[in-house]
Amino acid sequence: MKAEIKSYCLERIQEFALIPEARKALLERIAKYINEKEDQHAPIQLIYVCTHNSRRSHFGQLWGAVAADYYGVKNVNTFSGGTEATALHKNVIHTLENIGFDVTNGAEDENKKYIILFGENKSTLCFSKLYNAPENPKANFAAIMTCSDAEDNCPFIPGVELRIATTYDDPKMFDGTDQETEKYAERCAQIARENLYVFSLVG
């Protein structure tokens, strides 16, 4: 893992006390699911779901992968999806680049695919898609709802084993304001912190 990202992870780990107890209880259910999958020697598949699959769900997908790597949890596959497909937002890319991730741009179209690297031969592919897109698993997965709209408008997800709502405030509301960079960084840090907390409980 890149030194900058490892350092960022350590900073977030030192902030675990900022996570409210009720929130920890939700996150611990995800950790329990992962531990059960490990006990079964089964793949661990996590889909992070938000309405447009453009901001929070991508933070979730990436930080799930990074947290698993940080704690050495094997056989983890993270995905994201939405109830609509749009595009991975440029402010997410900028936020990740500021932390130290290397981002490789995909084809020039309305819905680019990005390879986001966090170490040698360590990366995740991010692009906007529906939660039930062909690239996502169809069974034996956990669905982590990262926004309340997706939680409300997606009442049934076929094949899900665990569905849990860990919703986050949308940084979109700060687009084009003086607080844009700050609020995206804040949301990224929160999602990183909570994913690291989950994987700290695995094993």
**CATH code where residue 166 lies:** 3.40.50.2300
pLDDT tier for residue 82 given thresholds of 50, 70 and 90: very high
User: CA end-to-end span of the chain, whole Å?
Assistant: 20
Please write the tens of the pLDDT for every residue from 91-114: 999 999 999 999 987 666 667 899
Please write the tens of the pLDDT for every residue from 126-184: 999 999 999 999 999 999 999 876 566 666 788 999 999 999 999 999 999 999 999 99
Residue range(s) defining the domain that contains residue 191? 3-13+20-200
CA distance 172 to 77: 27
CA distance 82 to 190: 20
On whether the pTM is more than 0.85, the answer is yes
Please write the tens of the pLDDT for every residue from 30-69: 999 999 999 999 999 999 999 899 999 999 999 999 999 9
- Domains in the chain: how many in total? 1
User: What mean pLDDT is predicted for residues 59-85?
Assistant: 96
pLDDT at 108: 60
Q: Tokens 């994201």 correspond to what residue? A: 80
pLDDT at 156: 72
E strands within 7-159?
44-49, 76-81, 102-105, 114-119, 122-126, 141-145
Contacts (Cβ under 8 Å, ≥6 apart) of 8: 99, 100, 192
